[in-house]
Chains A and B, each alone.
With several copies, the nearest count.
Chain A
Amino acid sequence: MPKIIVEVMPKADLLDPQGKAVANSLNRKGHTEITAVRIGKRIELHYDETPTEAQLEEAKAFAADFLSNGVIEDVVAVTVEA
């Protein structure tokens, strides 16, 4: 099924308590080489037909102002998967 995939991460300089909790837990389990964990979202948008260039542009726009909150998050990728 054709998709657009939007990836959103918490801003690098802001707190990510969930990532911190996971990092602590992995460190406790002995994975001490992991210095930090950040947890973001992977959002799949499904389409019946391969999305057009225009639809991709639209998706980039609503990824920036609805699927993410620019105050605390960054959109790190918007890609088409045919």
Chain B
Amino acid sequence: MLNKKTATNVDTTKEAKNTPDKHQPWKELGLKLEEYDEIKTILGRRPTSAELAMYSVMWSEHCSYKSSKIYLRQFGEKVTPEMTKNLMVGMGENAGVVDIGEGWAVTFKVESHNHPSYIEPFQGAATGVGGIVRDILTMGARPIAVMDQLRFGAPENPDTRRVVDGVVAGISFYGNCLGLPNIGGETVFDKVYQGNPLVNALSVGALRHEDLKLAKASNPGDLVILFGARTGADGIGGVSVLASETFDSTGPTKRPAVQVGDPFAEKVLIECCLELYKAQVVAGIQDLGGAGLSCATSELASNGQAGMRVQLQNVLLRDDSLTPEEILMSESQERMMAIVPKKDKAAFEAIVNKWEVEYSILGEVIKEPRLYINWGDEEIVNVPPRTVAHDGPVYDRPVAEPKYQKALNKNTTKNLEKAETPEELATQLIQIVTSPNQASKNYITDQYDHYVGGNTALAMPDDAGMVRVDETSSLGIAIATDANGRYGQLDPYAGAQLALAEAYRNVATSGAVPAAVTNCLNFGSPENPEVMWQFKQATAGLADGCLELGIPVTGGNVSFYNQTGDVAIHPTPVVGVLGVIDDVARRIPSGWQDAGHNIYLLGTTEEELDGSVWSEVIHDHLGGLPPKVKLQEELKLAQALQAASVQGLLASAHDLSEGGLAQALVESTTRFNVGARVFLDELEEKNKISKTAVLFSETTARVLVTVGREDDVKFVGLCEQRGIPITRIGVTDTEPTLEIQNIASWPLATLKAASEATLPELFA
């Protein structure tokens, strides 16, 4: 199987010493001159083309976090010992690991696959799911669920359909085929994402404490084994420049920039890895994602404070024409690298053979902290692995508040026309609940399997997804993710905190106790000081918010350069909150199932319409300041919901967010076709706000709950005791109608049909 290329056209370390002045395409590979010079200083010579390939990809923004690192640190610094006491693995590994009790731990993370999903939506989104699932698997966990956070361009733009179709089909194809229930996500349309959709994917996995695995190679003599799919020419469009430099006449000309996913291969890989873990034959493991072998070899060695000797010709190829540089950078999917003690080699082989997974031994771990890679007899890489994997460049880029910011914040909704008559209010309510961002997402979520595994306790359209982790005890977890780019644009600091607050509230609403945070920070170009300012504000907001709520950030991902032409997307920090629930049977549904229950609104409603859905849908307006962040109130509210859930007082709970009370009422009634009679005059008077605000304000720290008659006194007492503002606004009803007194009354079938028609009309 050895590659047919002869070693003579390979750029070796020897050659590099002999030809110090050879021109190298560092610029085409995305390096800065200072970075190229730095590599030469580290090595004491010019890099070989293989080394140049490795450094260029590992020092890219995507892999090195060079622009974000100095800000991400605060997630590890703004913490209390109380916050981190359940963290088994914190930031810096493939994914954080949280102890959830009873010997169980969970690991979760959200990651972006934005740019590939624009070029080739189906494969881009599919491989995005595949990549995040491998990160979770790498920690020793069985992946147990996925979620997807999607942002597309304007719904009426013809290209949006191409992207929506492909992305949703890709997620559905890959996730369903892996057997992971999809338990939630987000779908937002906004023209700022037209040429740059956001496709973020989250995965969560569960493991027993003793099964925890780390990505490190520390014991000299252990074998370095690559297994899974063969290596092909996927996702290395960019390295072609190297190939053409090195092999101008014989080399391949154009390599594909996209990767193709094989979920079947990944499913087999998951089962195979879990069996390897159980047999305790791997000392360390790393998935191959971005930067492929360059990343896996250098990170494993660097994390283990050791080195590695690798024979690159041992890599099993799909295509013999790949050059060493291409092999090092290939992003072929469904591959893993294991560090296996020699004594366990036979056991390892028996398991991978059982699953018919191909593998090859690339080399072994050495004590000297150096990464040596040979191509046949020729040495083509000889580097300190830390300099590739961890000690890359770090930038403190210039920041500047956007020039438009002050004017944007001044342009509030105060002077926008507000509806007065019942007819106008009713019309606006329908316009809002049937707008693409507020309408039912069934068209998308019906393409996702949420049943597989038999452990899904809550999924779409509930506020949070919830899965049972342990069948015996019913211990489970809940996850919600949120981000509002419009809020982020108005105030990135508050925007990040609002995303956190909403995800936190969603988890609390399900009955779970919020425990940890992950994030995917989607921003424009870091080379633009205004974008960098947004990033600085958002990360500070998130870190401060987590400290105030007392839950740690366990990991995340940064995606920069999201822009259409020169125009950056709105800052879109996707925040995921993980909660723990001791018994999933206690979960709180968001829909109404019984008539005759009292409906209460918890929290205070203020006149907060800036950045709201109302301002967008009715007035096509974005300006002012987003709703106030009220983290102390969120905390109290979460604790009250928790207490009420434990006492079994709540028939339902649904958080209020985009679209305000009107949206929540429509969702809660149409879910199970249980009607309601609602009276809002008291709210209007008590909070001294307009009718528009009563219906559509997006004030935070609010939840809509229903309570059976028998629990009423107890529940109201519980809220009053804890100082939670509570207003009775109606009662659920057998009549399948939503009646909002003095405004309008709608048959639920009409509301449901209208809400469910929007996306199919656009995309089916």
Q: Which residue of B lies closest to A11 (CB)?
A: B256
Q: In the docked arrangement, what's the CA distance between A80 and B242, Å?
A: 38
Q: In the docked arrangement, what's the CA distance between A69 and B234, Å?
A: 16
Q: In the docked arrangement, what's the CA distance between A69 and B119, Å?
A: 11
Q: In the docked arrangement, what's the CA distance between A17 and B127, Å?
A: 13
Contact with A along B605-638 (1 / 0, CB 8 A): 0000000000000000000000000000000000
In the assembled complex, the CB of A62 is this many whole angstroms from the nearest CB of chain B, namely 15
Nearest 8 pairs between A and B by C-beta? A17-B262, A15-B260, A13-B233, A71-B120, A14-B260, A13-B256, A14-B256, A71-B258
Any B CB within 8 A of the CB of A60:
no
Interface positions, chain A 4-52, Cβ under 8 Å from B, are 10-11, 13-17, 20-21, 24
Q: Which residue of B lies closest to A15 (CB)?
A: B260
Any B CB within 8 A of the CB of A61:
no
Determine the chain B residues whose CB is within 8 A of the CB of A14 once the complex forms.
232-234, 256, 258, 260
Q: With A14-B232, A15-B229, A17-B265 in contact, is A72–B258 under 8 Å at CB?
A: yes
Q: In the docked arrangement, what's the CA distance between A15 and B265, Å?
A: 12
Does A17 contact B119, Cβ atoms closer than 8 Å? no
Determine the chain B residues whose CB is within 8 A of the CB of A10 once the complex forms.
260
Q: With A13-B256, A14-B234 in contact, is A20–B262 under 8 Å at CB?
A: yes
Determine the chain B residues whose CB is within 8 A of the CB of A24 once the complex forms.
356
Interface positions, chain B 289-330, Cβ under 8 Å from A, are 318-319
Total contacting residues, chain B, CB less than 8 A: 21
Q: In the docked arrangement, what's the CA distance between A44 and B717, Å?
A: 71
Determine the chain B residues whose CB is within 8 A of the CB of A21 once the complex forms.
264
Please name 29 pairs of A and B residues whose Cβ atoms are closer than 8 Å in the assembled complex, sorted by A.
A11-B256, A13-B232, A13-B256, A13-B319, A14-B232, A14-B233, A14-B234, A14-B256, A14-B258, A15-B229, A15-B232, A15-B234, A15-B260, A15-B262, A15-B318, A15-B333, A16-B260, A17-B260, A17-B264, A17-B265, A20-B262, A21-B264, A71-B120, A71-B123, A71-B256, A71-B258, A72-B123, A72-B258, A72-B260
Q: In the docked arrangement, what's the CA distance between A21 and B333, Å?
A: 16
In the assembled complex, the CB of A65 is this many whole angstroms from the nearest CB of chain B, namely 11
Q: With A13-B255, A14-B234 in contact, is A72–B120 under 8 Å at CB?
A: yes
> Secondary structure of the B side of the interface?
loop
In the assembled complex, the CB of A9 is this many whole angstroms from the nearest CB of chain B, namely 13
Max chain A Cβ within 10 angstroms of own Cβ: one of B234, B261, B318, B332 = B318
Determine the chain B residues whose CB is within 8 A of the CB of A20 once the complex forms.
262
Contact with A along B236-258 (1 / 0, CB 8 A): 00000000000000000001101
Determine the chain A residues whose CB is within 8 A of the CB of B332 once the complex forms.
15
Determine the chain A residues whose CB is within 8 A of the CB of B258 once the complex forms.
14, 71-72
In the assembled complex, the CB of B125 is this many whole angstroms from the nearest CB of chain A, namely 14
Q: In the docked arrangement, what's the CA distance between A20 and B78, Å?
A: 50
Q: Which residue of B lies closest to A20 (CB)?
A: B262
Given contacts A17-B261, A72-B120, 18 further A-B contacts (CB under 8 A): A13-B232, A13-B255, A14-B234, A14-B256, A14-B258, A15-B229, A15-B232, A15-B234, A15-B318, A15-B332, A17-B260, A17-B262, A17-B264, A17-B265, A20-B262, A71-B119, A72-B256, A72-B260
Contact with A along B259-276 (1 / 0, CB 8 A): 111101100000000000
In the assembled complex, the CB of A80 is this many whole angstroms from the nearest CB of chain B, namely 24
Determine the chain A residues whose CB is within 8 A of the CB of B255 once the complex forms.
13
Q: In the docked arrangement, what's the CA distance between A15 and B260, Å?
A: 6
> Secondary structure of the A side of the interface?
loop
Determine the chain A residues whose CB is within 8 A of the CB of B120 once the complex forms.
69, 71-72
Q: Which residue of B lies closest to A17 (CB)?
A: B262
In the assembled complex, the CB of B118 is this many whole angstroms from the nearest CB of chain A, namely 11
Q: In the docked arrangement, what's the CA distance between A38 and B261, Å?
A: 15
Q: Which residue of A lies closest to B119 (CB)?
A: A71
Determine the chain A residues whose CB is within 8 A of the CB of B333 once the complex forms.
15
Determine the chain A residues whose CB is within 8 A of the CB of B233 once the complex forms.
13-14
In the assembled complex, the CB of A21 is this many whole angstroms from the nearest CB of chain B, namely 7
Max chain B Cβ within 10 angstroms of own Cβ: one of A10, A16, A17, A21 = A17
Q: In the docked arrangement, what's the CA distance between A14 and B237, Å?
A: 12
Q: Which residue of B lies closest to A70 (CB)?
A: B120
In the assembled complex, the CB of B321 is this many whole angstroms from the nearest CB of chain A, namely 9
In the assembled complex, the CB of B203 is this many whole angstroms from the nearest CB of chain A, namely 20
In the assembled complex, the CB of A7 is this many whole angstroms from the nearest CB of chain B, namely 19
Q: In the docked arrangement, what's the CA distance between A24 and B333, Å?
A: 18
In the assembled complex, the CB of A72 is this many whole angstroms from the nearest CB of chain B, namely 6
Q: In the docked arrangement, what's the CA distance between A15 and B256, Å?
A: 11
Determine the chain B residues whose CB is within 8 A of the CB of A13 once the complex forms.
232-234, 255-256, 319
Determine the chain B residues whose CB is within 8 A of the CB of A17 once the complex forms.
260-262, 264-265
Q: In the docked arrangement, what's the CA distance between A21 and B318, Å?
A: 14
Q: Which residue of A lies closest to B356 (CB)?
A: A24
Determine the chain B residues whose CB is within 8 A of the CB of A16 once the complex forms.
260
Determine the chain B residues whose CB is within 8 A of the CB of A72 once the complex forms.
120, 123, 256, 258, 260
Q: In the docked arrangement, what's the CA distance between A27 and B260, Å?
A: 23
Q: Which residue of B lies closest to A24 (CB)?
A: B356
In the assembled complex, the CB of B131 is this many whole angstroms from the nearest CB of chain A, namely 15
In the assembled complex, the CB of A69 is this many whole angstroms from the nearest CB of chain B, namely 7
Q: In the docked arrangement, what's the CA distance between A71 and B237, Å?
A: 12
In the assembled complex, the CB of B549 is this many whole angstroms from the nearest CB of chain A, namely 43
In the assembled complex, the CB of B696 is this many whole angstroms from the nearest CB of chain A, namely 38
Q: Which residue of A lies closest to B252 (CB)?
A: A13
In the assembled complex, the CB of A15 is this many whole angstroms from the nearest CB of chain B, namely 4
Determine the chain A residues whose CB is within 8 A of the CB of B262 once the complex forms.
15, 17, 20
Determine the chain A residues whose CB is within 8 A of the CB of B318 once the complex forms.
15
